[in-house]
Chains A and B, each alone.
Chain A
């Protein structure tokens, strides 16, 4: 085992060198508080505003519509709680889907306790929501629709344009958790009619602990964090200056060569999928075959369990993730895999390999080679596989 093969880029990505270089001076040289009036402070203020502008430009948003947060979870919490509480005189109904990130689902559970009604839309076998079900779910009490842009586990990309059109027709705010999409898919918030959008820098080679919420001008939303006057009085707290600068650099880099990068990633992804499906039996691909994130591979191997798969891969120097119960710390396998209709025992055998800018064809070949061995070894130990072999 020579080097480490990192195929968990949907969990997080390494900070790119160019991003780190940009960030470093803001720790100890340009360290002024952006709220201070002396030049060291105003220099920092400038850096924050230039960063905001860069991010806005990529999304075709206005600069003042970008608000920095501590990451995807805070952005999701803010969008949902902020819109819910600010618009409760209009209604108390929120529509979301069953396959959202816990940042959305657990916030919805909290809002339910506060008296809001939540509708969770079903998804089909590929993880796509049903637009007719969405239309039927809207009532005169509906104040917000929150549907994720692309799923973090199975990679399925939702028909965002259609969802937002329905929301607009009904005069309902539309939020999208785009944590897995920003930096990987072209997003124009105006073309797509998005009112609120969550993003997180560490998913696109930026630092952890920094994200943003896009809030369309005019959207009624309460602050989540009260305190100082930062972020136009809407999100208090001294700005995370180095990370803000890093996020802006990372998003710029991501969109500089997006098409070229994605063409390479999709080729790698499809090679990985094809080789796994061809060389291993009793395996299925999860998520949409075409409308999926460029780097996402998610498969289920029957008769084996995901955690033992991950431990075995780690022993070969390969980092991946799984939706099995044993990796979630709960007894239930991933809610996403159950929502697309997988039985529990098959969902336990899921494996997500998420490719990124640093993965190579050689790595794909090596991972498949090791997977063949590992799956065979674990199946040889499995009483479930024994039954299949004996035709029971």
Chain B
């Protein structure tokens, strides 16, 4: 059902945990739907120098969070903004169609954490103007 990459990231998830003094925290998903992702960012000079996550969800939700943190670590805010759910899914060598919303959740978690960072620092991040962290990701299936 899952690719080896998905299973690898499920078995050995990268960057699990919390960041005490995070610069941006995003939480997306809904326990009712069985998935919640929480992402913590440490940002210095516009670069994501550290990222951690916690996820309640299925195997692909955990793997998608793990992969998303791996992709954005060390990247600039602009680069992180360009990470799409498709990029996360492709990096995992694909997800089953019914699980694509997990990768959408990962993209939302990044954006949600960046939105929190932009609000705390009173800055504008291009592309977040219309972002709604509470959008129902299940419609993306």
A residues with CB within 8 A of B:
303-308, 311, 315, 324-326, 329, 331, 333, 343-345, 348, 380-386
Contacts and interface: CB of A to CB of B under 8 A. Distances in A.
A391 B94 CA distance: 38
B5 interface: no
A333 B11 CA distance: 24
B74 interface: no
A25 to B, nearest CB: 38
B16 to A, nearest CB: 5
Contacts, number: 68
A42 B57 CA distance: 57
B35 interface: yes
A384 B2 CA distance: 25
Contact of B57 (A305, A315, A331): A305
Nearest to B2: A311
Contacts of B59: 307-308, 311, 326
B32 A345 contact: yes
A22 to B, nearest CB: 35
A119 B89 CA distance: 44
A384 B35 CA distance: 10
Given A311-B59, A326-B58, A331-B138, A383 B34 contact: no
Given A308-B10, A333-B34, 4 more contacts: A326-B59, A345-B31, A381-B55, A382-B56
A329 B98 contact: yes
Interface in B1-48: 2, 7, 10-11, 13, 16, 18, 27, 31-38
Contacts of A348: 31, 34
B54 A386 contact: yes
A305 B56 contact: yes
Contacts of B61: 305, 308
A382 B58 contact: no
Interface residues of B, number: 27
A17 B31 CA distance: 45
Nearest to B102: A326
Given A325-B33, A381-B62, A311 B10 contact: yes
A307 B58 contact: yes
Nearest to A324: B34
Given A331-B138, A383-B54, A326 B34 contact: yes
A307 B56 CA distance: 11
Contacts of A380: 16
B18 A344 contact: no
Chain B contact surface mostly: mixed
Given A308-B58, A308-B59, A329-B98, A381 B10 contact: no
Nearest to B65: A381
B16 A381 contact: yes
Contacts of A306: 58
Nearest to B56: A382
A303 B56 CA distance: 7
Contacts of A386: 18, 54
B58 A344 contact: no
Contacts of A305: 34-35, 56-58, 61
Contacts of B35: 305
18 contacts: A305-B34, A305-B56, A305-B61, A308-B57, A308-B58, A308-B61, A308-B62, A311-B2, A324-B58, A326-B57, A329-B98, A331-B138, A344-B34, A345-B34, A381-B54, A381-B56, A384-B56, A386-B54
B25 to A, nearest CB: 10
A329 B96 CA distance: 10
A49 to B, nearest CB: 43
Nearest to A331: B138
B32 A383 contact: no
A338 to B, nearest CB: 11
A89 to B, nearest CB: 44
A318 to B, nearest CB: 15
Nearest to B37: A383
B50 to A, nearest CB: 17
Contacts of B34: 305, 324-326, 333, 344-345, 348
Contact of A384 (B18, B31, B98, B99): B31
Contacts of B138: 331
Which of B18, B54, B57, B138 has the largest number of chain A CB atoms within 10 A? B57
Contact of A304 (B2, B56, B99): B56
Nearest to A382: B56
Nearest to B27: A383
Given A344-B32, A345-B31, A345-B32, A383 B11 contact: no
Contacts of A324: 34, 58
A320 to B, nearest CB: 14
B54 A382 contact: yes
Contacts of B37: 383
Name the 4 nearest CB pairs between A and B, nearest first.
Answer: A345-B31, A326-B58, A307-B58, A348-B34
